[in-house]
Structure 1
Amino acid sequence: MNAVQIRSAEQALSIGTWLIVCGAMLYSVLTVTPLMRAHTPDAWDWTAPILPIVVDAAVVIVVRLDSVLARLGGEGGRWPVVLRWMTGIMTLALNTADSALKKDLVGVAVHSVAPLLLIVTAETGLAYRRAITAAVTGLEERERAERRRREQEGRQRAEEAEQAARQRADEEAQRIREEREFDAKLAREQREHEAALAREQAEREERKEQAERERIAAVERAEREARERDEHEREQRRLARERREREAAQRAEHDRRQAVEKAAREQHEREERAERERAALLAAGPAEKQQEKELALRTVAAAFAAGLPVRQAAELCGWSTGWVTGRYQELRDTTPAQALEGAFR
């Protein structure tokens, strides 16, 4: 069952309950008013409807507040139960009194239908609302657990992808190194082969003039020195590049550590300020008058973080327990760390 179906069920329950309550009230007023008029002095006949209206008003209060407490998952204690049954019994007694005095059992049975239906509806509606609240709470817990599971799976997939990317980068670097080593080996073999060919060519041309042999030898030495210089320069450039990369990495690591330390200090300072403010709010004692809304919100947040009951929090801020209960529920619905940070920021 989704949230729309739950709201529809609650709406149907509320509409049905109030239809029964309103019908029972109207029936009670029409039934009890003649009885009260018969037992009231003629000069005060106009007060006859007051008693059934007062009793029915108590019924409205009970039904309405029970629905609110059931939706919040709270318990009103012993007195709401006493008031609920007392108003039901009073309504039943007032509606059946006239028939009972006349010893009309059929009238007693007929006039007891509406009060009994009102009593049972009030108890059943309260049970239904508590069951719906428990079901909604369970559904929300399951949804939060599913969201946490999906977030954890997403983080795990991201870590696996990052690890795979690092592995591919390492493999690519290894392949490049192997290719470079292979190219260097091939170049050495090529140079050795060329040198062998040159020696063979020199042996075949021994009979050539000494000047030509010296010229060729000078050219070979120049080429060899040039290659060596090139290799030396490439090696120096490579070493310089690696040194610059290491220095840049060290500077980046140093900057990152400084940023982390700074963030940690700022977080610690914010937590200390929040703790001092919370302690000051709790140490102020019961409020002599109702605090301003912003100060009352901070006081309620401090009491919630300290685990104080709703009544003590209401005494500290000077607001009603119903208002404090609503703020406690809002704080429970959010992440505790975020709620306290938002309250003391």
Structure 2
Amino acid sequence: MDERTLRQVDRTLSAGTWLIVAGAVVFSVLTVTPLVRGVTPAGWEWTAPILPVVVDAAVVIVVRLDAALARVGGRAGGWPVLLRWMTGLMTLGLNTAGSALTGDMVGVAVHAVAPLLLIVSSEASLAYRRALADALTAREAREQAARAAREQAAREREQRERADREALADREERRERERREHEARLAREEREHAAALAREQRETAREQERLRLEHADREREREHRAREQAEQARAQAAREREAEQARERARKEAAARAARDQAARRRAALLTAEPATEKQPEPTARETVAAAYEADLTIRQAAELCGWSVGWVTARYAEHRQQEVRV
């Protein structure tokens, strides 16, 4: 349970305790005042509320001081216990006396509820507060121990880091000394290697020049063969295109001749047919009229061949003449 929850529990306990105390005080004043007024001399009845108020004030003081001591974990000895029980018993006696004197046991039980609840809640709240105080103390002790452990760990970590830094400094110094020695050795080796490398480079340069000349010769020969192959490929492609174009022209001419022959046969068939006994379908009739127009037949002859009226054939002849004019 964290500190926030403990504080909330403490506030809830305080609110409940003071609510019970307030209810018990009000109930006690209302119950005890008539009893005290009945045993007070004439003319002094107005002092009747003083006694229950004094007793309840003592209860409030005890509860308040017990709560304050419990929060800090203190104990006041036996006198607060005596005062707490004495005020509680006084409140119980005063609240139940009126009913007890009349022999009303139900009234005694009813009027004993508030005082008994006040006594028990006071003891329980005190125990609760002490338990909460112990819990807070234990929690603070754990937190203090955790802080001490963290501080100890931080000190140990700092010591380890200091030792690591010192060891690192020693290693760096040793590495630096070794590095200088290594650089001096490398410098000697590099000078020796530079002389050998210069000789090798001269020999390599001569060899590379020879290889470059040979490679250039091979490249020129390869480019020459590639140009010859490209020219041969272009010539072959040109021949193939010409052959394909020739075949395409032949196919088109054959198709045109076939179309002309078919159209001629169709016109001849239409023109040599017997006069129609009934109207030809319109597409066939239009073909017949077109063939008659091209053969310079008269409108009446064309009408007899297709079976349509002279007026309709005249309109078709007019369409053919307009097409010739546009062309």
| 1:66 maps to 2:66 | yes
Report the equivalent of 1:137: 137
Q: Residues 62 and 185 from structure 1, CA distance in 2 versus in 1: closer, same or farther, beyond 3 angstroms?
A: same
* 1:51-77 superposed Cα distances (whole Å, 9 cap, x missing partner): 000000000010000111111111111
Q: Which amino acid aligns with 1:145?
A: A
| 1:168 maps to 2:168 | yes
Residues 213-252 of structure 1: matches in 2 within 5 Å? none
Residues 72-83 of structure 1: matches in 2 within 5 Å? 72-83=72-83
Report the equivalent of 1:120: 120
Q: Which amino acid aligns with 1:125?
A: S
Q: Which amino acid aligns with 1:9?
A: V
Give me the whole-angstrom Cα distance separating, in 2, the residues matched to 1:190 and 1:105: 119
Q: Residues 2 and 187 from structure 1, CA distance in 2 versus in 1: closer, same or farther, beyond 3 angstroms?
A: closer
* 1:223-267 superposed Cα distances (whole Å, 9 cap, x missing partner): xxxxxxxxxxxxxxxxxxxxxxxxxxxxxxxxxxxxxxxxxxxxx
Deviation at 1:154, TM superposition (A): 2.1
Q: Which amino acid aligns with 1:85?
A: W
Give me the whole-angstrom Cα distance separating, in 2, the residues matched to 1:80 and 1:160: 56
* 1:82-135 superposed Cα distances (whole Å, 9 cap, x missing partner): 100000000000000000000000000000000000000110011001000000
> Which moves more between the two structures, 29-38 or 171-180?
171-180
Q: Which amino acid aligns with 1:126?
A: L
Report the equivalent of 1:275: none
- SS of the counterpart of 2:134? helix
Residues 4-83 of structure 1: matches in 2 within 5 Å? 4-83=4-83
Give me the whole-angstrom Cα distance separating, in 2, the residues matched to 1:16 and 1:143: 30
- Listed as ranges, the gaps of 5+ residues in structure 1 are 193-345
Report the equivalent of 2:97: 97
Report the equivalent of 1:222: none
Report the equivalent of 1:107: 107
Q: Residues 187 and 61 from structure 1, CA distance in 2 versus in 1: closer, same or farther, beyond 3 angstroms?
A: same
Give me the whole-angstrom Cα distance separating, in 2, the residues matched to 1:191 and 1:5: 80
Deviation at 1:146, TM superposition (A): 1.0
Residues 290-305 of structure 1: matches in 2 within 5 Å? none
Deviation at 1:159, TM superposition (A): 2.3
Deviation at 1:190, TM superposition (A): 9.8
Deviation at 1:187, TM superposition (A): 7.1
Report the equivalent of 1:281: none
Q: Residues 179 and 79 from structure 1, CA distance in 2 versus in 1: closer, same or farther, beyond 3 angstroms?
A: same
Give me the whole-angstrom Cα distance separating, in 2, the residues matched to 1:178 and 1:43: 114
Give me the whole-angstrom Cα distance separating, in 1, the residues matched to 2:88 and 2:98: 17
Report the equivalent of 1:179: 179
Considering only aligned residues, what root-mean-square deviation do their CA atoms show, in Å? 2.1
Deviation at 1:157, TM superposition (A): 2.2
Deviation at 1:183, TM superposition (A): 4.6
Question: What is the aligned length?
Answer: 193
Residues 270-289 of structure 1: matches in 2 within 5 Å? none
Q: Residues 165 and 103 from structure 1, CA distance in 2 versus in 1: closer, same or farther, beyond 3 angstroms?
A: same
Report the equivalent of 1:212: none
Q: Residues 191 and 82 from structure 1, CA distance in 2 versus in 1: closer, same or farther, beyond 3 angstroms?
A: same
Q: Which amino acid aligns with 1:117?
A: L
- SS of the counterpart of 1:42? coil
Percent identity, please.
61
Q: Residues 28 and 188 from structure 1, CA distance in 2 versus in 1: closer, same or farther, beyond 3 angstroms?
A: same
- SS of the counterpart of 2:52? helix
| Structure-2-length-normalised TM-score | 0.56
Give me the whole-angstrom Cα distance separating, in 1, the residues matched to 2:118 and 2:190: 106
Q: Residues 191 and 103 from structure 1, CA distance in 2 versus in 1: closer, same or farther, beyond 3 angstroms?
A: closer
Report the equivalent of 2:85: 85
Give me the whole-angstrom Cα distance separating, in 2, the residues matched to 1:172 and 1:41: 104
Give me the whole-angstrom Cα distance separating, in 2, the residues matched to 1:74 and 1:186: 81
Q: Residues 177 and 68 from structure 1, CA distance in 2 versus in 1: closer, same or farther, beyond 3 angstroms?
A: same
**Bigger Rg, structure 1 or 2:** 2
- Listed as ranges, the gaps of 5+ residues in structure 2 are 193-327
Deviation at 1:189, TM superposition (A): 8.9
Report the equivalent of 2:153: 153
Q: Which amino acid aligns with 1:140?
A: E
Give me the whole-angstrom Cα distance separating, in 2, the residues matched to 1:3 and 1:186: 69
Q: Which amino acid aligns with 2:121?
A: T
Deviation at 1:164, TM superposition (A): 2.1
